[in-house]
Amino acid sequence: MRRILILLLVLIFCHPVRHALGQSGDAGLRALLEKAYLQWREAMIRKDPHAWAASITRYRQTVTRNSIVSERKVFPDAVFASELKPPALDGLRLLEAQAAGETAHLVYFGKIDMGQDRELLHDDLLKLKFLNEDGVWKFDSNRISSLGAAKEVRQALLEGKKTDFLDTPEFTPPGKAPPVPPLCRVPDHKAGYKLQSFGHETTISMNGFDYDPVQDGLAQEVITGGLVNGHNEITLNIKPVPVPQGEKASLQIRVYILSDDPGQPGREVLRWQAPETGAPAQVTLPVEVSR
């Protein structure tokens, strides 16, 4: 079963306010949030782009649009391309309704129906995340957490017992949201990079977007805004970090033009490796793409 794994992001720092099930405040919060979610769900089922844009946060609209155009797909048509349906709430048990400042979530437990075969339905967790924009709650994203590897938690929930996982940061509105990102360009080519960074903390910037730093690891990402014909640039900001005795630091990046066919290999358009004498603090590399 395909999972939707997207983080909820929030606007301001604020101490979270938990609404325990059964309290009067919970009923009001639950009603507002479920209404917002069901408006988004109905828009998705009807494949209505105007209703979709009106029911989802500005942050999520922009992130979704940037991802779609970077994949060289048509926006907003690709929003509705999945055969999976938004999860229904019928039959799910609400575990928590929690708000913190301009953010909130609902957490449910049960068999999450997204239109898949019935034998694929299991008792798992569904978290719906929301953001209050201009005084109105709007749906932001959802996350399905499988309990297949946490059978004790699943059994405890089936028996109605109390569990403490709702107190973890993952199930607490975080308190601050990043700004809405800019709209990325529409690229001539879908592109990605592979970064190997050992003995360094390396952050990549391209097309006005920064990616998560990589330290002593590997990263592979689709480039937001892709590549255009002609001149492109990618910048690496590099910080040295200690390496185990006997090991050597290494840093390499490769940039590829990606095919729409997942079975086809990408076409490498850049390969750069830090010299053995040491990596610079910053390097901007040209990526030339011919027509």
pLDDT in tens, 101-157: 989 999 999 999 998 887 878 899 999 999 999 999 999 999 999 999 999 999 999
Q: What is the mean pLDDT of residues 62-72?
A: 98
pLDDT in tens, 203-216: 999 999 999 999 99
Bigger pLDDT: 188 vs 175: 188
Q: What is the mean pLDDT of residues 173-196?
A: 91
d(CA 258, CA 148): 34
Domains recognised in the chain with CATH numbers = 17-171 (3.10.450), 191-289 (no CATH)
Q: Residue 262 — pLDDT band, cuts 50, 70, 90?
A: confident
Q: What is the mean pLDDT of residues 154-173?
A: 92
pLDDT in tens, 73-97: 999 999 999 999 999 999 999 999 9
In order of 17, 45, 137, 283, the CA distances from 133 in angstroms are 18, 23, 6, 39
pLDDT of residue 25: 55
Mean pLDDT score of the chain, rounded to an integer?
89
Q: Residue 20 — pLDDT band, cuts 50, 70, 90?
A: very low
Bigger pLDDT: 247 vs 221: 221
Q: Residue 245 — pLDDT band, cuts 50, 70, 90?
A: confident
